């Protein structure tokens, strides 16, 4: 079995670019795809490896062009384009503090103090349904929280949270 049987993109023949309207585009093997969608196939364990590149197909369907094995295989300019596209799709600020938690009518409402990738700190309210599925341990020290709007929030290291924040979050950690 060769590499193409798996759908892996040959980076020598791929060129990611910024298209019109801020969309990422891809030129690959003589074809031009001016608006592509990038999806992480292993978003939690390997966020910058195994990235699916797809273009719009019939209706709302997407046709996979191929899989980028690792963004580190790309030239710097293309790596920045792919990273920006993934950051926009997978917005996941870091949780610095759990300000408040309320359990109400099957939802857990949280006020979180967050930091985005640019280092800007802010507070945000979110609602989590089915906490056993949407508040998950990624490792012994990190947690991911999915809210009802599909946003993701990352606690990179539980040890860095205040004692009060840990107490508020502890009941939901499985």
Report pLDDT digits (tens) over 41-73: 987 778 899 999 999 766 667 889 999 999 999
For residue 128 the two structure tokens come to 């989590």
**Percent of the residues in the chain that have a pLDDT greater than 90, as a whole number:** 74
* Strand 62-70 to 49-56 pairing: antiparallel
Among residues of the chain, what percentage have pLDDT more than 70? 94
How far is Cα 77 from Cα 74, in angstroms, rounded to an integer? 8
Name beta bridge partners: 89. Answer: none
CA pair distance 115, 127, nearest whole angstrom: 18
**What pLDDT score was predicted for residue 45?**
78
Residue 149 has pLDDT above 80, yes or no: yes
Other C-beta atoms closer than 10 Å to the C-beta of 155 total 25
Q: Cα(96)–Cα(3) distance, rounded to whole angstroms?
A: 42
Asked whether residue 6 carries a pLDDT value surpassing 70, the answer given is no
Residue with tokens 């590499």: 3
Q: What is the pLDDT of residues 100-144, one digit of tens each?
A: 999 999 999 999 999 998 899 999 999 999 999 999 998 899 999
């Amino acid at each position: 079995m060769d590499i193409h049987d798996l759908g892996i993109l040959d980076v020598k023949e791929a060129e990611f670019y910024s298209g019109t309207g801020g969309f990422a585009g891809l030129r690959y093997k003589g074809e031009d795809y001016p608006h592509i969608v990038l999806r992480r196939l292993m978003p939690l364990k390997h966020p910058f490896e195994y990235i699916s590149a797809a273009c719009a197909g019939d209706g709302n369907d997407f046709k996979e062009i191929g899989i980028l094995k690792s963004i580190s295989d790309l030239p710097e300019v293309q790596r920045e384009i792919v990273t920006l596209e993934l950051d926009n799709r997978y917005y996941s600020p870091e949780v610095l503090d759990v300000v408040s938690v309320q359990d109400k009518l099957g939802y857990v409402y949280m006020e979180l103090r967050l930091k985005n990738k640019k280092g800007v700190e802010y507070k945000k309210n979110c609602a989590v349904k089915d906490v056993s599925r949407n508040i998950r341990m990624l490792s012994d020290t990190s947690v991911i929280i999915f809210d009802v709007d599909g946003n993701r929030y990352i606690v990179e290291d539980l040890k860095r949270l205040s004692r009060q924040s840990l107490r508020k979050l502890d009941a939901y950690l499985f």
